[in-house]
Structure 1
């Protein structure tokens, strides 16, 4: 699990599920497809596959061509594509400004090295002047958990200073008010901006910290600078916070010290029930000038129609996009090629489609959805969830792929968001047939469940499985797997050095794709309607969409 941090691996409890026959082994998963498509899509010629660029046109055309060659049909009423309306906002880094004033002294922060800011509002320029800063802890309003960091504070005209993750992320277990070490959606930066907007804040600045964020400042800088995509909206997102951004931990500490506060002491206080927001008594000003471009990007949709129940669906997802041109590496390389993330997953999607097509139709229809703009906040999958080509109530479940295992065969398979859905029973059967162990993700505090496209379909109720090859490698054991994960996060994740390597070991990727094949085929040949587990946050949505299902 290259995207995950290293931690002791806990054994998963054994499933008590019934034991139907495991689906037959997949037709051979094409190594040529995996290698060739990954190398091609992550080449410099595709310029990092950013939506709205020539790299998009090259990518979606290639995918449609490969799906057609595999024998699939266009999935959207005769078209391979679903158009996704987007708006691109590009803040000028030369004029983007954030400063704070304390004790009569104004400190100006450097864009990129100290902060990154922007606005989700579709306007050519925006400014917030002399707004009081308020430390709001983790920025959470969760009445069902008896927690409100905004209690008693009016945020109108003020800028919220917010911690990343949620209050109990340092817990050694997954037990706690906010699920202990496992991040809840309240810990995601997306939620924090959403809540700040609901509170009427003039700005929302997140304090970066590598451990609770699960990535370094380099990832924030490269991901948040340059053109930013959002879904097009009739109100041009004028209901969002005017200024959104991040500050480095060092710059945040200095700002809080200027207000007579200590970041560590405030953080400790923010973890306690009953925390009260702290007005800092200092002001900040921020402004950005934007270049705005409206565009349509595209999801790519292919289908293998079912033989007996073609109006029931099993969906497979992967995102084809990456960051395009980004913050240069020391050698000047400014193309974020996204080889592992997610050229491998997209190549895997095509390889799976080829295998299913070679096996012939299943009873249900098999859908292969390559989505756009995942890196911009799951925009393509969110658009599909709101505008499904195939009814979500008739979609039995799905499998998401976001980065394949290119470090060798593993003895385990990891479930991101373990314990949420009955699809894990399918995974347990398929993994057992390979002699592998299913484990919970080693780093639930990183919130990976909320960071890929399965989440956008889970929210409206579709049971989705996000599983990855584990870290207990056949060659080298857990130590080798953990070292590879650390190396990727530190040196390649969301950076220009996530590049194709001809020396990658695809053995683990093929094993995982064989798992996904077995799960998809079993579900597509069954009459089952798996659900979310009773305590999962998506259960109510599924029950509402399928009230008559078992």
Structure 2
């Protein structure tokens, strides 16, 4: 049977679906849902709403215990840090959160770090496959590391105007460029603290995103068992980082240039850092929400396709001026829209005349904004065997700006899901393109990463280019405006000028891909060059 014969598209992706999608977003992004922060009344309302919709659509409880939820034990923390450094006669005090942000990665209510030597460590990367080691065996135990965000930006010897594709994937950000990795790397070195220098372009978001995130409650998994950073992880504003290195007699740009060499070695900044972090912590149980369509085939029903979208956002910040509605992080596109898409996909599957052969799990995750925690917890404690989970299709924000001639595959180059996506995009009269903004590192910034880390082939798409009937710069304008003005801000609200015609085409495309798999299509395989291929082999070898 051909791929096209495997797929039936119900007549649900039209005006009625657009109205239904918008209705879900309006509810989830409303003031009543209080910004959907984990462990708040906003979570309770959100979980209840998603569960209600799963029940209304006729989905079975997704947890084998008979419920629609998976409990995710977490710790919440509000941190108030102080940071100063001294390289001369007088200490320099920085202001939280305008100059820096930091928190305590442990459980201490009061943490004090005194006179920790400040050391510039370049990008803080150890990448044997690229012959790269920023540490060179230096003893960094107990020290405060100042590090750069993103990967080493190495020019291509054949074309210095571009980055070298043989090193850290050229224009694309790798996991080595992510803040998560920087903190993990610092912890492995035994550092006491790590400060990442924020620069908007290589970070892919303005400092306000870091600032706002630091003011919200920070979450971590209670039983994670992994060190996600040194005792004090944090960020420092670019201007303040320049002042810090200047006080040590260095030029910041010169240090950045030095960090682009394989021969780079850590540089002492001839200053001592001191931190005090006061934390208010609590334990809480947050929830992933799970609904199931059980497969109809007696053998294939034990295979699973997981559609995922995170439901959480940043809640309320009462320190912001203005009325209550201006203190709520509504998270309309990020990610009420993704949850709405998840519900529309479930509705489309339930509209089919026959159930799919393989089982489909619809997973709305918690605490994505705090480090993909809900997805990470599911990966650590799966409700169904990961070895029988053939694909994860993740949705994090949908296109609200009109139709596009192509779909961007953020996960391009990793698995045979590329071929499935390209085939069904063509059936829509569209084409598949690689990630148009690889420098943003989107692969490593959303829930599909945690499934990939477990060896499950993943798909994550965006529509950020090729808008039909729009000028060439339209995509950059709307996306860049959203990132600069609305992303992780209270202004991420429902807009009157949204056009979900393109978003619905994207949802239909993800439906087509999932249905081919669900109807018995070939199990996706990692490409040999993918960094996640060996994880799948390990997963299948497990009893």
Task: Provide TM-score, normalisation by structure 1.
Answer: 0.93
Q: 1:51 aligns with which of 17, 31, 38?
A: 38
Distance 1:328 1:430, change over 3 A: farther
Offset at residue 441 of structure 1 (A): 1.1
Q: Answer yes or no: is the 8 Å Cα contact 2:6–2:519 preserved in 1.
A: no
Distance of 2:76 and 2:425 partners within structure 1: 42
Secondary structure of 1:65 counterpart: helix
One of 225, 231, 243 as aligned partner of 2:221: 231
Select which of 303, 313, 321 maps to 2:312: 321
Determine helix, strand or coil for the equivalent of 2:454. coil
Task: Check if 1:539 corresponds to 2:524.
Answer: no
Give the 3 Å change call, closer, same or farther, for CA 478–327 of structure 1 in structure 2: farther
**CA deviation after TM superposition for structure 1 residue 31, in Å:** 2.0
Q: Is the CA contact 2:216–2:314 (under 8 Å) kept in the aligned structure 1?
A: no
Equivalent runs, 1:141-156 vs 2, <5 Å = 141-156=126-141
1:214 aligns with 2:204: yes
Q: CA deviation at 1:19?
A: 6.4
Whether 2:285 is the aligned partner of 1:296: answer yes
Query: Superposed, which structure 2 residues align to 1:39-438 within 5 Å?
Result: 39-77=26-64, 78-92=66-80, 96-168=81-153, 172=162, 175-233=165-223, 240-308=229-297, 309-326=300-317, 333-359=326-352, 360-438=354-432
2: CA distance, partners of 1:129 / 1:327: 32
How far did residue 176 of structure 1 move?
2.7
In 1, Cα distance between equivalents of 2:175 and 2:154: 12
3-state SS of 1:478 partner: coil
1:479-494 residue pairs with structure 2 within 5 A?
Answer: 479-494=473-488
| Unaligned 5+ runs, structure 1 | 1-17
Give a deviation string over 1:118-141, Cα, whole Å, max 9, x none. 111111111110110000000011
Q: Distance in 1 between matches of 2:234 and 2:228?
A: 16
SS of aligned partner of 1:421: coil
Alpha-carbon distance in structure 1 between the residues aligned to 2:412 and 2:515: 22
**Deviation, structure 1 residue 407:** 0.4
| Alpha-carbon shift at residue 21 of structure 1 (Å) | 4.2
Q: 2:434 aligns to what? A: 440
Deviations along 1:39-65, one digit per CA (max 9) or x if unpaired, are 010011111100000000000110011
Q: Contact conserved, 1:26 with 1:518, CA < 8 A, in 2? A: no
Map Cα deviations across residues 429-472 of structure 1 (whole Å, 9 max, x no partner).
Answer: 11001111211111111111000000010101000100122321
Single out whichever of 125-134 and 223-232 deviates more from structure 2: 223-232
Indicate conservation of the 8 Å contact 2:141/2:190, yes or no: yes
SS in 1 for 2:84: strand
CA deviations on 1:224-273 (whole Å, 9 max, x unpaired) are 223100111376x7784111100000000000000111110111110111
Secondary structure in structure 2 of the residue aligned to 1:64: helix
**CA distance in structure 1 between the partners assigned to 2:224 and 2:27 by the alignment:** 37
Residue 363 of structure 2: SS of its match in structure 1?
Answer: strand
Q: SS of the residue aligned with 2:302?
A: strand
Structure 2 counterpart of 1:25, from 6, 9, 24: 9
Alignment match, 2:159: none
Equivalent position SS for 1:48: coil
Aligned residues, how many? 527
Matched, 1:507 2:501: yes
Q: Does the 8 Å contact 1:409/1:507 carry over to 2?
A: yes
Shift of the alpha carbon at 1:330?
6.8
Instruction: State the distance in 2 between where 1:174 and 1:443 align.
Output: 16
User: SS at 1:546's partner residue?
Assistant: helix
Structure 2 gap ranges (5+): 157-161
SS at match of 1:324: coil
Residue 498 of structure 1 aligns with which residue? 492
Q: Per the alignment, in what secondary structure is the counterpart of residue 264 of structure 1?
A: helix
Distance, in Å, in 2 between the alignment partners of 1:288 and 1:535 is 43
Q: SS state of the match for residue 212, structure 1?
A: helix
Aligned equivalents of 1:130 and 1:22: distance in 2? 65
* Cα distance in structure 2, aligned partners of 1:19 and 1:353: 21
| C-alpha contact (below 8 Å) 1:185/1:450 kept by paired residues | yes
Q: Which has the higher contact order (CA 8 A, sep 6+)?
A: 1
Superposed CA deviations along residues 385-433 of structure 1, whole A, max 9, x for unmatched, are 1100011110111210000111011111001132111101111011001
Q: Aligned in 2, Cα 1:273/1:111: closer, same or farther, shift over 3 Å?
A: same
- Normalising to structure 2: TM-score of the pair? 0.94
How big is the shift at 1:329? 6.4
Q: Is the 8 A contact 2:97 2:214 kept in 1?
A: no
1:177 deviates by: 1.6
